[in-house]
């Protein structure tokens, strides 16, 4: 068993943070008064930290019954309306919603915490009638203000509003406006309680979850939320996303460790509800990473999250490290993510792959946001153009690939930073054909003596405002095999006229990743296609290969002992290059392969990438030399390569066009072995995917979606025919051979 967070560990931080914040209260107030920004985009902005401290204090009282914390909470609430006096008398004219004066509580993130502290002070009889009346007025006036700006749907900001309004309605049941707060709050909570969230951003997922759980525990006081299948899903979903860094990776609008403190009470609550020690392990990962040993600078908000974790935890339950390897996280409708991993240790290999589109769910919520707030560069809401993108790759505590980051400015930085497709490790596509220019000696242009001709830079061609262009995604396959794990997913862009499949194969014994990308034209058009990989440092490079690493993510040190070889073994007619760009708030490098070309419907364009994590001292050029493209009969409809490592040879091959074998409609199957077969070096098969590990005397192979496989004219496996009836042309039953889902076997050579 692993070591969970103990009561004492939680309390050590909670009390220390609360007492330090209280002792430094006057200094922090002085600092706030000296830094008032009258031009702040969101207007009146009193310090939320004091409300977090008030809520923390009442939680501490519920834990240890020390009455001084109730006194502190009351003092904080009584003072809070005075912050309005620091603003000019006519400041209410700056915003339409201030027509009735500045609200005491303008911030949806801290509003509910004020009401929580007030409610507990009332419960424990700590307010005089006069004090109660003053605080009630502050809550009521602020609740009336809160309903002026309407945000609804299953997303973080709406959930925060629902929590605040319904807590106000609960705390002030006899107020004349209480029915209005309750009605509007209930309209929002109905969209969130037991419903799918529309956001695909790990930072905002945590805000939504913490607010929802806080509402269930403190406002509704109803545990039935955890009996909904969707909440059961979310606990397992976020557990499976946990990385070797001890955090959920930052995908969508998020940064490294974003909202980590909110995930901690979420996992403690799930562990207690479901009696699941794996969830206590996840909570402990966050605590050990950020709070053990206790940092010198403490956060009141973190302490507040820990106090809820304390109140929600089952301390009789142990912690248990999860087990298992690669998997879907958790399915292909909502999560649309795949994890490749070889374990759950801090030094394990881990790759997070995201193929989530905006989806069909929550249409009304998404459309309301699209037409109500200035958002263009993201999916509705907070998701990036990261379909078919590698979000994070780690090995031996080293970050080797990483996502692009949140944004530089509001609502988004230059070129849609960092949400647009060209900031992600994926295939990006643009309408039209890039002007590539000409290197000296080439024949593209009849310039004198074939001189160099300037062309367009890749980034200048691909960059635009960053406005998100809707696409659809599908999972084609995911499988765990003995030596390989694989997934295949598809992006469909009906507007530009293409579909793009990415096939990722994890070679488990090597910790290498082989990636086949194929873009299929679906209309007669010109497109420019780029296979993009981003990094912080390039240590060495050669024809088609680059040795890379990350040393930092902005101000976070993520350097380790591993480098990443990014190798493009297929280079025919593809331009390669490296361009610098601002990404994740720092200078990074975009490594690319690219082609601008015309295509007819059905034409294919292939890219091949091999990702090789390796020690700093290993010879990357030698590693790259172990990879060879296979001789394939039907390229580009199919592709394959081999990796030679020691006494073994690994074969990875795939059909890129899954419909090319279809030869008839009037009878089933529509395919035959002969129409689907292709030769990959020594192998012949009609498989969608072929994997093999060869030694001197054995072959371990796996074929997916196949009728037969041969090795050097020797049949390794073949399915028998069966009658397929009910032919559409009315002809008699005829034999056909159906495909195996997959077949895996070891044979002698």
The dihedral over CA atoms of 186, 192, 194, 196, expressed in degrees to the nearest 10, equals: 160
For strand 638-645 and strand 648-655, is the pairing parallel, antiparallel, or unpaired?
antiparallel
What's the burial of 620, exposed, middle or buried (CB within 10 Å: 0-12/13-18/19+)? buried
Residue 18 has a pLDDT of 98
Over residues 343-362, the mean pLDDT reads 97
**pLDDT tier, 477 (very low <50, low <70, confident <90, very high otherwise):** very high
**How much is the average pLDDT of 552-574?**
97
Q: Does pLDDT of 1 surpass 80?
A: no
If pLDDT is split at 50, 70 and 90, which confidence band does 194 have?
Answer: very high
User: What is the structure's pLDDT at 7?
Assistant: 98
Q: What pTM did the predictor assign?
A: 0.97
Residue 394: closest CA among 515, 530, 246, 275: 246
Would the pLDDT of 107 be above 80? yes
- Beta carbons of 400 and 548 less than 8 angstroms apart: yes
Looking at residue 736, its pLDDT comes to 92
Residue 582: predicted pLDDT: 97
The 3-state DSSP composition of the chain as helix, strand, coil percent (nearest 5) reads 35, 30, 40
- The pLDDT value recorded for residue 133 is 98
Task: Band the pLDDT of 465: cuts 50, 70, 90.
Answer: very high
Question: pLDDT tens for residues 413-432?
Answer: 999 999 999 999 999 999 99
Residue 139: name the closest of 107, 162, 171 by CA. 171
Rg (CA), the chain: 29
pLDDT digits (tens, 9 = 90+) for 618-668: 999 999 999 999 999 999 999 999 999 999 999 999 999 999 999 999 899
- What average pLDDT does this structure show over 564-576? 97
For 402, phi then psi, to 5°, come to -150, 160
Cα–Cα distance list, 648 to 113, 225, 581 (Å): 61, 52, 40
User: What's residue 729's pLDDT?
Assistant: 87
**pLDDT at position 382:** 95
Which residues, including other chains, have CB under 8 Å from residue 599's CB and lie 6 or more apart? 498, 521, 524, 525, 526, 527, 605
What is the structure's pLDDT at 244? 98
Task: Report the alpha-carbon distance of residue 235 to residue 227 in Å, rounded.
Answer: 12
Q: Do 463 and 428 contact (CB within 8 A), yes or no?
A: no
Quick one: which H or E segment has residue 533? strand 525-535
Confidence of residue 143 (pLDDT cuts 50, 70, 90): very high
As a whole number of angstroms, the distance between CA 739 and CA 686 comes to: 9
User: Is residue 274 over pLDDT 80?
Assistant: yes
Length in residues, the chain = 749
Q: What is residue 447's predicted lDDT score, i.e. its pLDDT?
A: 84
What are the angstrom distances between the C-alpha of 326 and each of 81, 349, 398, 735?
Answer: 53, 10, 19, 38
Query: For position 449, what pLDDT does the model report?
Result: 86
**What's the rounded mean pLDDT across residues 677-705?**
98
pLDDT at 381 (0 to 100): 86
pLDDT for residue 380 is more than 80: yes
| Band (448; pLDDT cuts 50, 70, 90) | confident
Mean pLDDT value across the chain: 97
């Amino acid at each position: 068993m692993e070591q969970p967070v103990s009561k004492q560990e939680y309390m050590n931080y909670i009390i220390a943070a609360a007492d330090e914040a209280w002792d430094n209260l006057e200094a922090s107030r002085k600092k706030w008064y000296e830094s008032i920004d009258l031009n702040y985009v969101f207007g009146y902005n009193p310090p939320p930290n004091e409300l977090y401290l008030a809520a923390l204090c009442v939680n501490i009282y519920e834990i240890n019954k020390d009455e001084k914390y109730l006194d502190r909470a009351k003092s904080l609430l009584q003072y809070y309306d005075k912050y309005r006096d620091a603003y000019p008398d006519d400041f209410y004219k700056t915003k339409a919603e201030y027509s009735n004066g500045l609200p005491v509580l303008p911030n949806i993130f801290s509003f509910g915490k004020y009401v929580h502290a007030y409610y507990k002070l009332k419960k424990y009889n700590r307010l005089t009638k006069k004090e109660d009346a003053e605080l009630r007025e502050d809550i009521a006036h602020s609740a009336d203000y809160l309903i002026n700006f309407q945000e609804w749907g299953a997303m973080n900001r709406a959930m925060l509003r629902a929590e605040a309004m319904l807590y106000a309605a609960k705390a002030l049941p006899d107020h004349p406006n209480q029915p209005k707060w309750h009605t509007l709050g209930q309209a929002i909570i109905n969209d969130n309680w037991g419903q799918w969230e529309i956001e695909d951003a790990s930072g905002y997922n945590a805000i939504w979850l913490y607010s929802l759980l806080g509402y269930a525990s403190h406002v509704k006081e109803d545990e039935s939320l955890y009996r909904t299948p969707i909440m059961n899903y979310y606990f397992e979903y976020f557990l499976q996303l946990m990385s070797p860094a001890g955090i959920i990776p930052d995908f969508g609008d998020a940064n490294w460790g974003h909202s980590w403190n909110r995930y901690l009470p979420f996992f403690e609550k799930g562990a207690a509800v479901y009696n699941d020690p794996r969830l206590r392990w996840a909570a402990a990962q966050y605590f050990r990473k950020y709070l053990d040993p206790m940092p010198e600078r403490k956060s009141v908000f973190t302490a507040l999250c820990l106090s809820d974790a304390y109140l929600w935890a089952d301390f009789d339950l142990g912690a248990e490290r999860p087990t298992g390897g690669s998997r879907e996280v958790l399915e292909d409708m909502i999560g649309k993510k795949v994890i490749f991993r070889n374990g759950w240790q801090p030094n394990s290999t881990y790759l997070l792959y995201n193929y989530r589109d905006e989806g069909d769910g929550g249409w009304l919520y998404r459309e309301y946001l699209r037409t109500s707030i200035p958002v263009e560069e993201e999916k509705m809401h907070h998701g990036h153009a990261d379909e078919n993108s590698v979000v994070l790759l780690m090995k031996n505590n080293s970050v080797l690939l990483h996502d692009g980051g949140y944004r530089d400015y509001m609502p988004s930085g230059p070129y849609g930073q960092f949400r647009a497709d060209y900031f992600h490790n994926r295939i990006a596509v643009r309408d039209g054909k890039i002007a590539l220019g000409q290197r000296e000696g080439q024949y593209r242009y009849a310039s004198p003596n074939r001189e160099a001709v300037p062309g367009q830079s890749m980034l200048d061609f691909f960059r635009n405002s960053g406005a998100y262009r809707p696409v659809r995604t599908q999972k084609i396959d995911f499988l765990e095999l003995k030596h390989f794990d694989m997934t295949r997913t598809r992006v469909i862009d009906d507007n530009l006229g293409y579909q793009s499949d990415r096939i990722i194969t994890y070679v488990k014994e090597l910790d290498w990743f082989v990636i086949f990308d194929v873009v299929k034209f679906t209309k007669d058009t010109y497109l420019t296609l780029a296979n993009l990989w981003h990094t912080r440092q390039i240590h060495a490079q050669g024809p088609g290969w680059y040795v890379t690493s990350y040393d930092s993510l902005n101000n976070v040190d993520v350097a380790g002992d591993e480098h990443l070889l990014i190798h493009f073994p297929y280079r025919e007619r593809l331009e390669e290059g490296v361009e610098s760009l601002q990404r994740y708030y720092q200078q990074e490098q975009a490594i690319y392969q690219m082609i601008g070309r015309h295509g007819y419907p059905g034409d294919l364009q292939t890219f091949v990438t091999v990702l090789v994590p390796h020690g700093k001292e290993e010879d990357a050029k030698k590693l790259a030399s172990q990879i060879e493209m296979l001789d394939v009969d039907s390229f580009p409809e199919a592709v394959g390569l081999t990796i030679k490592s020691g006494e073994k040879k690994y074969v990875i091959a795939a059909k890129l066009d899954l419909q090319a074998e279809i030869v008839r409609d009037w009878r089933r199957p529509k395919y035959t072995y002969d129409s689907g077969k292709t030769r990959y070096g020594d192998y012949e098969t009609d498989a969608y995917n072929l994997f093999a590990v060869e030694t001197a005397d054995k072959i371990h192979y796996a074929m997916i979606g196949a009728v037969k496989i041969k090795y050097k004219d020797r049949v390794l496996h073949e399915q028998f025919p069966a009658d397929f009836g009910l032919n559409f042309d009315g002809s008699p039953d005829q034999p056909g051979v159906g495909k195996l889902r997959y077949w895996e076997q070891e044979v002698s050579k």
